[in-house]
Amino acid sequence: MLGFTSQIRILWLLPLFILSTTIFQRCNSTNNTQLSSNCNEKDLSALLIFKHGLENHSSNRLSSWSNENDCCSWKGVLCDNITKRVTKLDLHQQYLEANTFDSELPAWLFDHASDMNISHIDLSFNFLQGQIPKSLLSLRKLETLKLSNNELNGSIPDWLGQHGNLKYLNLAENLFHGSIPSSLGNLSSLVELSIGSNFMTSNIPTTIGNSLSGVLTEKHFSNLSNLEALVLSAPVSFDIDSKWIPPFQLNRISLSNTILGPKFPAWIYTQKSLEYLEVPNSRLSSIDGDIFWRFVANITQLNLSNNNISADLSNVTLNSDLIFMDHNMFRGGLPHISANVIYLDLSHNSFFGTISHLFCHKLGRENSLDYLDISSNLLTGEIPDCWEYWKGLSFLFMENNMLTGEVPPSMDSFIDLIILDLHNNSLSGNFLLDLSNITNLEFINIGENNFSGPVPVKMPHAMEVMILRSNQFEGNIPSQLCSISSLIQLVLSHNKLSGPIPKCISNFTAMGGAKKTSHYPFEFNLYNKGQDLEYVDYGLLRTLDLSDNNLSDEIPRQVFSLVQLQSLNLSRNHFTGKIAREVGDMKNLESLDLSSNKLVGEIPDTISGLSFLSVLNLSSNYLVGQIPVGTQLQSFDASFYDGNPGLCGAPLPICIESNKHGGNNDIDDDDDSFTQSLYFGLGVGFAVGFWSLCGSLFLNKPWRHNYFRFLNRVADQFH
């Protein structure tokens, strides 16, 4: 299989988006200079048919595609200034989907475009499905075909090798399977070929790249003097002489998942025009110190992720726009960075020492840093109070270190912050930051620290995720939290909170209404379903976790109105009362934990209708009666019902019920009458005997004295 390792955190779409947006804007600026053109009627018809085949929401993205406008001014359409014919179609990253009746790649476009002189098609980063239509073969002048990052399947067609003018072919990140067609070796004009991250099963055909195979030598590249980009994502190894000078000058090297190491190849240093150097997961372990860092100083994108490179970066200054160096063995103090750096991932390394020298110095000009990840290292000391220099940060990850002290006041000076993760450090004190003015902030995780005092409430109304677990927060759950209606995850577990759950919790409309779809995917851990789980998209989860506190009173019915919740954990508290029948309205619930409380009454039968429920724990309460019959409820382990002496029914022992039907009613009535008479007689006898003795002692003084002397003699004998 030819695979590609996705970047950790905001998936590798983010840096591509940053770069491709710039390129796309340039394309659009070219469009704007051609408003005076009048595109060909046949081209116009073909493009409108293409738009008609899209889903409504996708079609809306092409709102400029209208009969009222010249099609040469439409979004993503470029025309020749002289012939007025459409020559390029650039609709990458528009999230286009085809109509449900025909979800395949838009063959209708190519069926109606046989007489176009289109040379460039880019439909990458959409949701197109199906196979590549053979009608594409009619576009004889095609030079660029980019269909990457879709859901195309089937095999890569052999007839693609008939496109003699094709220079750029990118089919990566799809669902293609089978072998790579040998006919691609006939593409004599080919400059770039990318077919990684599919399900291809064979070796690279000998017809491609002058007999590319499992081991590459300089002979494979000897005739590729026009090569501009080298993109491979397969476990091929390199056996190249260290003194070899290639016949080409590349602007991009992408050799992910290859066997490039252990030492960084010397021939790459000869590439003076290189802008992108991507060698993730390529078994590299050593670099030539100063030589390497001087070489990459002018490279736009540097990706060294998932290798075993060990080097001290204390005296290194990083200069690239986008830098991925996570999951290595870099050590020493954190490196310096220039004002050019936009994206920096140094996570999962062995950096140690304080972080102050990275942040507490002014750069020569305003810095560009938007994304910073220094998590999962060995960093120590306090967080410096100099964040006013880094107001433009949108993503800040510093979790899984050994940082101490209080959070400095200047951390509330961010303007564009979206995600803040400080969890699993040793931070302490009250969390007093006023984050309410950071309107873009959506995600905050300060769990697993030593913060104390009241739960922080100065949060923006757009907040979606608050994870504050495993701290020392105390007092009531503040009602001010209810004003953050956009919350989809609230985790306050393992603290010292007390009092009731505020009834205004029903104001969390995002937990009870329609699901939101706009969010930022990145990897994070969350304790859910009784274990630590790793997720890559917080926007898909709806969680309320108040477990392991000192909360009390009844569980308000408003909790069960949060019908979008997938996980509800109220365990290890002091909740009383019954479980409301409204729990059955939570149809999306996958995990429900109400264990170790003081709940009473029967389990509501409505709970048997929760068809997605995979985790249920009701143990250690005072529940009674029969467990409702339902497929899920009987499949759970008996331990999840233990500690409720009054419960019965599968998976616990069968309930024993008294027979209260038919002729036995008379017998039962007689038994009840006899029992009542017996108890009445015993009561009367006890009263008569008691007052016969006690009344005599009370009224007769000599008897009373003799009785107490008798008791004293008995006591003396026992003594």
Calculate the dihedral angle through the C-alpha atoms of 520, 521, 527, 528, rounding to the nearest 10 degrees: 100
Contact present, 583 and 557 (Cβ < 8 Å): no
pLDDT (mean) for 565-594: 95
Which architecture characterizes domain 1-209 according to CATH? Alpha-Beta Horseshoe (3.80)
Q: What is the pLDDT of residues 370-385, one digit of tens each?
A: 999 999 999 999 999 9
pLDDT (mean) for 44-72: 74
**Most confident segment among 146-150, 215-219, 314-318, 514-518:** 314-318
Looking at domain 470-648, does it have CATH number 3.80.10.10?
yes
Provide CB contacts within 8 A for 476, sequence distance 6+. Answer: 497, 498, 499, 500, 502
**Most confident segment among 109-118, 361-370, 384-393:** 384-393
Question: Is residue 131 pLDDT above 60, yes or no?
Answer: yes
Taking each helix axis from N to C end, the angle separating 664-699 and 701-718, rounded to the nearest 10 degrees, works out to 100
Q: What is the pLDDT of residues 477-533, one digit of tens each?
A: 999 999 998 899 999 999 999 999 999 999 988 887 655 445 566 666 666 666 666
Question: Is residue 24 pLDDT above 80, yes or no?
Answer: no
Question: Is residue 1 pLDDT above 50, yes or no?
Answer: no
Contact present, 582 and 559 (Cβ < 8 Å): no
Cα–Cα dist 511/490, whole Å: 10
476-490, 586-600, 665-679, range with the lowest pLDDT = 665-679
* Fold agreement (1-209, 470-648): yes
Chain mean pLDDT for the chain: 80
* Count of CB atoms situated within 10 Å of the CB of 216: 22
Q: What is the pTM of this model?
A: 0.68
Cα–Cα dist 456/468, whole Å: 9
Question: Is residue 296 pLDDT above 90, yes or no?
Answer: yes
Q: Which of residues 29 and 86 earns the better pLDDT score? A: 86
Name the DSSP letter for residue 561. G
Provide CB contacts within 8 A for 54, sequence distance 6+. Answer: 62, 96, 97, 98, 99
Question: Is residue 318 pLDDT above 60, yes or no?
Answer: yes
3-state secondary structure (DSSP) of residue 442? coil
Instruction: Indicate if the alpha-carbon torsion angle 712, 714, 716, 718 is positive or negative.
Output: negative
Question: Is residue 687 pLDDT above 60, yes or no?
Answer: no
User: Residue 606 region, left (φ>0) first, then alpha (ψ -120 to 50), else beta?
Assistant: alpha
* Count of CB atoms situated within 10 Å of the CB of 140: 14
Confidence of residue 60 (pLDDT cuts 50, 70, 90): low
Up-side HSE of residue 358: CA atoms within 13 Å toward CB? 24
Q: What is the pLDDT of residues 631-645, one digit of tens each?
A: 688 889 999 999 999
pLDDT (mean) for 650-664: 66
DSSP symbols for 383-401: PPS-GGGGTT-SEEE--SS
At 349 the pLDDT is 97
Confidence of residue 36 (pLDDT cuts 50, 70, 90): very low
Domain ranges of the chain: 1-209, 470-648, 664-718
